[in-house]
Chains A and B, each alone.
Chain A
Amino acid sequence: MSDPTTPGSPAATEDPGERRGLPGGATVPEAGIAFASAEPVAPEPAGKTFVQRGDRIFRVLAVGSGAFVVILIGAIGLFLLVQAIPPLLDNNDNFLTSRTFDVEDTANLKFGILDLLLVTVEVSLFALLLAMPVGLAIALFLTQYAPRRLARPMAYAVDLLAAVPSIVFGLWGIFVLAPVIEPFSSWLQANLGFIFLFSDGNVREGPNLFTAGIVLAVMILPIITAITREIFDQTPRTQIEGALALGATRWEVVKTVVWPFGKGGYVAASMLGLGRALGETIALAIILAATFEAFSGSLFDGGATFASKIALSFAELNNPLSAGAYIAAGLVLFVLTFVVNAIARAVIVRKVD
């Protein structure tokens, strides 16, 4: 590093003179960079190339880092796929429709993701259902209703929820929250048990999807709130003031101006929250009780999501085939979150444009 810089200083000081001599391109340095590849065509004194070398190295580093990120995402999919293919070929069960996940015996792999997928989707959607209205109300509160002076610290308090590590949420959920909500969940089972969502579960009270969903809702709430707030904040000031001038109440401003402007962003924010919920690992691994019974669709069932199943079983694996089976499950999770996030981002980008 130090080598090029020492001779670099005189070259750099010479440079302005060099540039001044150049008509056109050199007056706009940005253009100078853009022309870097075309410049050798013009007759140039050798002294100038040094500065360009510094620029070129820096440019290569910057572009390389950008390309690295793109390659990285591709590599994640590719490497997971490579590890997942051998066990998928050896699988004696249907990967998509089987409910068992048995990779103990590498000579007879039987694994499928149906139950994992159903549990993951149900608990995430349940969490989303709980968090969406609250997140919307909080975003409205922070942008439209909260006292100006307090809005910032209040927003910070909600953001603090995102700073709590998920393992702490998991411990809180199973040790503290589960006993507290038990009477309510028993009531639901007794009175609404005829709906499949509230029928009796296959695990004891507490470590079920119901508890997990509430904890997940708390965890995705700050994500939904933060992004929705950002979108609502971009509502054109003039439109809000126009509505107020016409005599609209605060609620009517929300209904006629803020909501039509921000609803797309709100949906996208909720999808980002969903993406987070689908991939949440340790909180669910701690809360959900394992069970050998098939998932019935009830919120009072136990079971495992993709992420919690992988987290709990992976460390003990010592052969590539069993590990590959879990990596196959991880790949499905990756694709799932990729799709959800991509849709959400597309909506947000369109909104901003």
Chain B
Amino acid sequence: MAAPTAVVDAPATFTKLATRRVITNQASSVVVWLAFLLALVPLIWVVWTVVGNGISAVLNSAWWSQSLSGLLAQEEGGGVYHAIFGTLVQGLICAVIATPIGIMVAIYLVEYGAKTRLARTVTFMIDILTGVPSIVAALFIFSVWIAVFGFPRSAFAVSLALVLLMLPVVVRSTEEMLKIVPDDLREASYALGVPKWKTIMRVVIPTALSGMLTGIMLALARVMGETAPVLILVAYAPFINTNVFGGNMASLPLLMTVERNNPTDAGFDRIWGAAVTLILIITLFQLLATFLARLTRVKTS
């Protein structure tokens, strides 16, 4: 019964089906476009909020050149020089430790490990390290550095916790970059009798340098916005402290959490001003990453 009708109605059925297919296709198109626009809403909204609330604070020159030393909570004025200093110092110490280790791990994975069991384990552990929450990294450093070794809370402890967060990102990006260095280059170097370590240092790394630097800068930008480690591993100070191994040191995220308990207008301005500053610094590092990548790119032709 059904079969003959289908044959007779074939063109009509076909047209109907086609309409449905067209509509489904159009609908899917609309849905994915809407999803994308939906993701832009919080991005624009957050940036709008931060800039709108914080721009007045950062446009003041004192913001960049003074600390909050000696100011009462409700007193307007002062700046976040001390917090910018802390953020940069903690970030730089972290980068100095994490970068060489991360690069060596990546070199191991690409140049030495190949498909050995250890290399697979390392890759897996890097993945796990990527997922370690920042608060757990901070607790680990607390357990080792402060509870077991007995050092005081300090900016250096924060840097150590940040190393745990930065390391996997550096390894991942460096690994990707080393992988795309053509084997021809390595083989040409070996054929000239250059030992392997020199080949890596003089041929492989310079070729991959551009991408590696980008990855490192991006990783650094990411960890400088971390708040959990500074909450646990160092206390806030409203002035500059240059001793990274002891004493309180401010940083932008820490300043924001401290000022959140300040219900006055001055506190409100400082929170959002610090947010603008933090985002500015992160953006600056990302731009610097692009610039460095361009500067160190291997010249072809």
Report A's interface with B, CB cutoff 8 A. 12, 15-16, 19, 28-30, 32-33, 51-52, 54-55, 57-59, 61-70, 72-73, 75-76, 79-80, 82-83, 133-134, 137-138, 140-142, 144-146, 154, 157-158, 160-161, 163-169, 171-172, 175-176, 218, 221, 225, 249-252, 254, 272, 275-276, 278-282, 286, 306-307, 310-311, 314-315, 320, 323, 326-327, 330, 333-334, 337-338, 340-342, 345
Nearest-neighbour CB distance to chain A for B26, whole angstroms, equals 9
Is there contact, CB below 8 Å, between B136 and A333?
yes
A32 to B21: give the CA distance in the assembly, Å. 62
Nearest neighbor of A16 in chain B, beta-carbon distance? B193
6 residue pairs, one from A and one from B, having the closest CB atoms: A279-B133, A165-B225, A16-B193, A137-B35, A58-B197, A341-B131
Which DSSP category, helix, strand, loop or mixed, fits chain A's interface?
helix
Identify 16 residue pairs between A and B in the complex whose beta-carbon atoms are under 8 Å apart, listed by A's number. Answer: A19-B193, A54-B195, A54-B198, A55-B195, A66-B122, A67-B118, A69-B171, A73-B125, A73-B128, A80-B139, A146-B36, A165-B278, A275-B131, A315-B232, A334-B136, A341-B131
Nearest neighbor of B47 in chain A, beta-carbon distance? A164
- Across the interface, B134 reaches (CB within 8 A) one of A12, A254, A279, namely A279
Is there contact, CB below 8 Å, between A63 and B112?
yes
Nearest neighbor of A309 in chain B, beta-carbon distance? B135
- Across the interface, B167 reaches (CB within 8 A) one of A69, A307, A341, namely A69
Nearest neighbor of A324 in chain B, beta-carbon distance? B147
User: B22, B43, B200: which has the most chain A beta carbons within 10 Å?
Assistant: B43
A72 to B161: give the CA distance in the assembly, Å. 12
B9-64 residues with Cβ-Cβ distance < 8 A to A are 21-22, 24-25, 27-29, 31-36, 38-40, 42-43, 45-46, 49-50
Nearest-neighbour CB distance to chain A for B255, whole angstroms, equals 10
Q: Chain B residues near A137 (CB, 8 Å)?
A: 31-32, 34-36
Assess A138 versus B140: contact at CB under 8 Å? Given A66-B105, A161-B42, A169-B46.
no
Given contacts A75-B144, A341-B127, 10 further A-B contacts (CB under 8 A): A65-B108, A69-B171, A79-B144, A83-B147, A167-B278, A250-B25, A280-B133, A281-B133, A311-B228, A342-B124
Assess A218 versus B133: contact at CB under 8 Å? Given A66-B122, A165-B279, A286-B260.
no
Which DSSP category, helix, strand, loop or mixed, fits chain B's interface?
helix
- Tell me whether B164 is interfacial, beta carbon within 8 Å: yes
Is there contact, CB below 8 Å, between A281 and B107?
no
Nearest-neighbour CB distance to chain B for A145, whole angstroms, equals 5
Nearest-neighbour CB distance to chain A for B177, whole angstroms, equals 16
Is there contact, CB below 8 Å, between B196 and A58?
yes
Assess A61 versus B35: contact at CB under 8 Å? Given A75-B140, A282-B227, A330-B139.
no
A186 to B35: give the CA distance in the assembly, Å. 25
Q: Chain B residues near A306 (CB, 8 Å)?
A: 135
User: B129, B130, B135: which has the most chain A beta carbons within 10 Å?
Assistant: B135
Is there contact, CB below 8 Å, between B45 and A172?
yes
- Across the interface, B129 reaches (CB within 8 A) one of A61, A73, A161, A176, namely A73
- Across the interface, A250 reaches (CB within 8 A) one of B28, B101, B126, B257, namely B28
Q: Chain B residues near A166 (CB, 8 Å)?
A: 225, 227
- Tell me whether B121 is interfacial, beta carbon within 8 Å: yes
A15 to B199: give the CA distance in the assembly, Å. 14
Is there contact, CB below 8 Å, between B135 and A221?
no
A332 to B286: give the CA distance in the assembly, Å. 35
Assess A307 versus B228: contact at CB under 8 Å? Given A55-B195, A59-B112, A134-B38.
yes
Q: Chain B residues near A58 (CB, 8 Å)?
A: 196-197, 200
- Tell me whether B151 is interfacial, beta carbon within 8 Å: no
Nearest-neighbour CB distance to chain A for B131, whole angstroms, equals 4
Q: Chain B residues near A16 (CB, 8 Å)?
A: 192-193
